[in-house]
Amino acid sequence: MKLSRVPPSPYSLIASAFSSKSNTVADPLMLSQHACNWRDLQGSTHWENLLNPLHPLLRQEILRYAEFVTACYKAFDLDPTSKRHLNCKYGKANMFGQVGLEDSGYQVTKYIYATPDIYCPIQNRVPHGRWVGYVAISSDDEVVKKLGRRDLLIAFRGTVTNYEWIANLMSLLTPAQLDPRNLRPEVKVESGFLSMYTSKERSDKFGLGSCREQLLSEVSRLVNKYKEEEISITLAGHSLGSALALLLAYDIAELGIVDTCDHRDIPLTVFSFGGPRVGNLGFKKRCEELGLKVLRIANGNDPVTKLPGILLNENFRLLGKRFAESPWSCSFYAHVGVELALAQRQRSFLDMRNPSWVHDMETYISLLKYPDATQHEEDIELADLIIRFRDCAGNLMKGLRLRWSPEQHDS
């Protein structure tokens, strides 16, 4: 059966193909006889046969989590005069309502703050914890039924502050050593990302703790609270947030938080939007051993997805040999997971006004929503600019002629 390729609204949940009154298929065009269930969409088979072409249900699931990440940007206060500057503008109870996700069926349970232990020469003050995202749980019973499980969601925003930009540029690899039972010195990650994840606020008097401590505490609490239910853990982030999401997923798996007493499998999935490389080959191998499911959504022209390790990475070859065969491979960066490469449309010169558009979260959402869109709107805008430029140039030339040619002026 040929699947429909028309993407519906992001909030017709993955089970929009199911009737709300029963668990029966409501739209036969959305599911083939080998219907992908929610575990397939969470990467149980590493998204085999779902990426090329992109399955409509998976597209909707990715878009759904993309909107949760976008909520971080909408709620982040960038007003330097505000009392909530560089924090969330809203309280947990009404944040989703303020950013247009009141019908998502999720409830925010905790805000997450991160403090990079990094010196910034242009800011002579101790860095403070900044809001980087939130933890939420699918709380609406109808949504839980449609999803097929209780979904524990952690969403992260990308880079905003100067300290975070410095963290992005710290390409030195350092041992992660997150599991005290086995330090695994061969598992290395980018030092700036690790600092964002593990550092505490130096002047903290209220026990806020590191980003890591906040997250592990809340995830453990929610997993224990819903231990009798079918549950999934989904992490989604953009740019720097993707790195934090992957570090958290690795940490959760390494510490065994997803191991239940009855040996039920709790899917642990990362949806990475425009994410950089996070660690070396040892980190990649360990993530695979732990069974992490990572889907990297990458815009082909986004330079962030090629960093760090722009030269020394998983694609490096020396005398025809791949980097994995090199004795220096422990110092090479490597992407983790499966890549969903978004076909980048050729853009008009209008986009040159804002080169950062290739990495923007809204660009990722647009490419996912409209993969086959034409440039009709951009062409119209470009044509309008050309007409205005022509009129302006014509008026300018006319003015010059009037100024320097008195005989033309008299005529």
241-290 pLDDT, tens digit per residue, is 999 999 999 999 999 998 865 657 899 999 999 999 999 999 999 999 99
pTM for the model stands at 0.80
The distance of Cα 131 from the centroid of its chain, to the nearest Å, equals 16
* Per-residue pLDDT reduced to its tens digit, 191-231: 989 999 999 876 555 567 899 999 999 999 999 999 999 99
If you write DSSP's letter for every residue of 51-70 in order, what string do you get?
BTTBPHHHHHHHHHHHHHHH
pLDDT band at 135; cut points 50, 70, 90: very high
Cβ count within 10 A of residue 170: 18
Let me know: does 280 contact 323? Beta carbons within 8 Å. no
- At residue 2, does pLDDT exceed 50? no
**pLDDT of 317:** 60
- Catalytic hit among 40, 151, 302, 360: 302
359 catalytically annotated = yes
**E strand or H helix at 188:** strand 188-190
- At residue 117, does pLDDT exceed 80? no
**Is the four-CA dihedral 139, 145, 149, 153 of positive or negative sign?**
negative
Q: Name the residue with tokens 């039972």.
A: 181
55 catalytically annotated = no
Q: Please give the single-letter amino acid code of residue 285.
A: K
Q: Look at residues 231, 136, 256, 237 and name the one whose alpha carbon lies nearest to residue 193.
A: 237
Over residues 397-409, the mean pLDDT reads 56
**pLDDT of 325:** 52
pLDDT band at 128; cut points 50, 70, 90: confident
Q: Mean pLDDT in the chain?
A: 80
Q: Please measure the distance between the N-terminal and C-terminal CA atoms of the chain and give it in whole angstroms.
A: 75
- Catalytic hit among 151, 238, 359, 360: 359
**pLDDT of 181:** 93
- Say if residue 371 is preceded by a cis peptide, omega within 30 of 0: no
Q: How many Å apart are CA 226 and CA 107, to the nearest integer?
A: 14
Q: How many Å apart are CA 217 and CA 331, to the nearest integer?
A: 32
pLDDT band at 34; cut points 50, 70, 90: very low
- At residue 4, does pLDDT exceed 90? no
- Catalytic hit among 239, 242, 272, 335: 239
Q: Which two tokens stand for residue 349?
A: 């010169």
